[in-house]
Structure 1
Amino acid sequence: MTTAYERARAVVWAGGFLIELARDQSLPLHIRQRAVWIARHFPTCGEVALSASLTEHGYETALDLARPKEGDDWTSDFQHGPLTSSTRLEWPEK
């Protein structure tokens, strides 16, 4: 069974992966466009943290997520950073 910690980490990693896909010029245009489209509707790091905070305070959330443990950096492996509310992904045209 997946833990709340593992679910949260996977969501953050998936968001970062979408950014990597969207900005990788070596990928076909339709793949980069799909990554941008999905990223626009994907939970950001802030939304993951909010969900984890609500769970910690006894509220039921759809995903039941947990915060990173002390010293964990779930975003260090992403060249372009994690998916945040300030992430700007341009729609690929070519």
Structure 2
Amino acid sequence: MPHERSRAVIQAREFLIEISRNATLPSKIRSDAKFLLRHYPSADQVLLAGRIEEASLDSGRGLAPVLGPIFSSSTTESP
């Protein structure tokens, strides 16, 4: 579900941040986490992507109607 995917991506970023700051881990692991974070979307970017996709679905434009929404503007299930 899009809201679950949004939540998972946001939580994965938080996990990478934790790894990158954990001095008890080997430096290679920390540097790999930092490298991945350089290209990882922030929570705001994920939620914005969800809003854009939802607007695209509402208007019938863009790829969202064909592919279905990837992200959601929320990390909880919509009513």
**TM-score category by the smaller chain?**
0.7 to 0.9
Deviations 1:35-88 (A, max 9, x none): 000001111111101101101101436871012249xxxxxxxxxxxxxxxxxx
List gaps (5 residues or longer) in structure 1.
71-94
Per-residue CA distance 1:6-52 (angstroms, 9 max, x = gap): 10000000000010000000000000000000001111111101101
Report if the CA contact (8 A) 1:54-1:60 is conserved.
no
Equivalent residue, structure 1, for 2:17: 19
For 1:60 and 1:44, locate their aligned partners in 2 and report how far apart those are by CA, in whole Å.
22
Unaligned 5+ runs, structure 2:
57-61
Matched residue count: 68
Q: Tell me the percent identity.
A: 34
TM (norm. structure 2) is 0.76
Equivalent residue in structure 2 for 1:67, among 65, 69, 73: 73
Distance 1:60 1:26 in 2: 44
Cα pair 1:52 1:67 within 8 Å, conserved: yes
Give the residue type in structure 2 aligned to 1:44. S
